[in-house]
Structures are given as C-alpha cells and as structure tokens.
C-alpha cells in the first residue's frame, strides 16, 4: 500500500486534522469515538469497531483545541488507483459543524497527492445526503450492513 505524503495538518474552524498511527494514544480515542458513534447506537459491542485491514489504513482524526479526538475517517487502498473511505465518525455535539466535511476533504487531498483517483465507501442511508453533497454518487443497489441500510458510493478525484 502506498503511504500518503506528509502534509501539514489541515484546519477546520476550531479543529485541526492530522494523520495518526495505530497504537498511539489518539488511536485509542479514535476507537472509542467510532464505538460511541457507529456501533453503540446499534447495540453492538466494542469488538465490532476494528477491521482486519485497519493496521494498513490511513487514520485521520480531527482534534479540538484541547487535543481531544472529535472526528475521524479512515482510508484503505484496495486497488492500484484507489480505495475505501470507512469508519467516518464525528462527535454528535459537532455534527453539522463542518468537521466531517473537513475530514473527507483532507482525506481526498491526501489520496490525490498519493496519485490515487478513486474513493468508494459504504454509506448508511442516513449519510447518503452528506456524501452526495461531497460529490459521491451511488454505484450499486442498496444493501444491509451492521443491521442497517447502506449504499455503495464512489467518487473519482482529479489529480493535483
């Protein structure tokens, strides 16, 4: 897998976005946020938040002024030209404040800088509008994942 180039942290309002390593303290906070936002509301256990390919993924987190993880998004290259955006989560108190948008745009910039052009994702039915506004399109039939409706979506990026 190609590692993204090192880039200065992006800023979105009162948060900054940085890439972190698996196993660092911020990764523990990222896992906790992913559990609280994505799994606990579905009645799922903490053991369901990690993916088999997580250690090879790029992890981006949004940190607030106190360096608390308030958002995250991951990317796993699964093809020569791109990969999957997954585990997007924003603290409920900051949803609709631009944190998610900033995370996705930062991830896209890193993916494009690495010479990749395609991102796909599994969008929950409730998140489809967010991703459509970000330029993603539905690419397949609806399906159920983690007990709720999802759609495959994708976006082709322009090279920098």
For the domain that residue 73 is a member of, what is the CATH number? Answer: 3.40.630.30
Sign of CA dihedral 121, 130, 41, 69: positive
pLDDT value of position 153: 96
How far the first Cα of the chain sits from its last, in Å, is: 20
Q: What is the pLDDT of residue 140?
A: 87
Whether 5 maps to a domain, the answer reads no
Domain-embedded: residue 3 = no
2 assigned to some structural domain = no
User: Cα dihedral sign for 18, 23, 28, 31?
Assistant: positive
13: which residues sit within 8 A by CB, 6+ positions away? 97, 98, 99, 102
Evaluate if residue 7 carries a pLDDT over 60.
no
| Number of structural domains found in the chain | 1
How many helices, marked H, and strands, marked E, lie in the chain? 3, 9
Q: What pLDDT digit, counting tens, does each position of 100-123 carry? A: 999 999 999 999 999 999 999 999
Using pLDDT thresholds of 50, 70 and 90, give the confidence band for residue 160.
low
Q: Is residue 56 part of a domain?
A: yes
Residues 6+ apart with CB under 8 A from 8: none
The predicted structure's pLDDT at residue 97: 86
């Amino acid at each position: 897998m190609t590692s993204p180039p090192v880039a200065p942290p992006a800023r979105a309002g009162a948060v900054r976005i940085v890439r972190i390593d698996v196993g660092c303290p911020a990764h523990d906070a990222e896992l906790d946020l992913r559990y609280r936002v994505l799994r606990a509301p579905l009645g799922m256990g903490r053991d369901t938040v990690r993916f088999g390919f997580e250690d090879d993924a790029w992890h981006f987190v949004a940190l607030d002024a106190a360096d608390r993880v308030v958002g995250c998004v991951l990317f796993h290259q699964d093809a020569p030209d791109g990969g999957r955006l997954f585990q997007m989560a924003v603290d409920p108190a900051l949803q609709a404040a631009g944190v998610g948008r900033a995370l996705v745009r930062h991830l896209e910039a890193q993916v494009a800088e690495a010479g990749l052009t395609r991102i796909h994702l599994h969008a929950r039915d409730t998140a489809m509008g967010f991703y459509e506004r970000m330029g993603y399109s539905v690419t397949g039939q609806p399906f159920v994942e983690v007990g709720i409706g999802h759609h495959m979506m994708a976006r082709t990026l322009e090279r920098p």
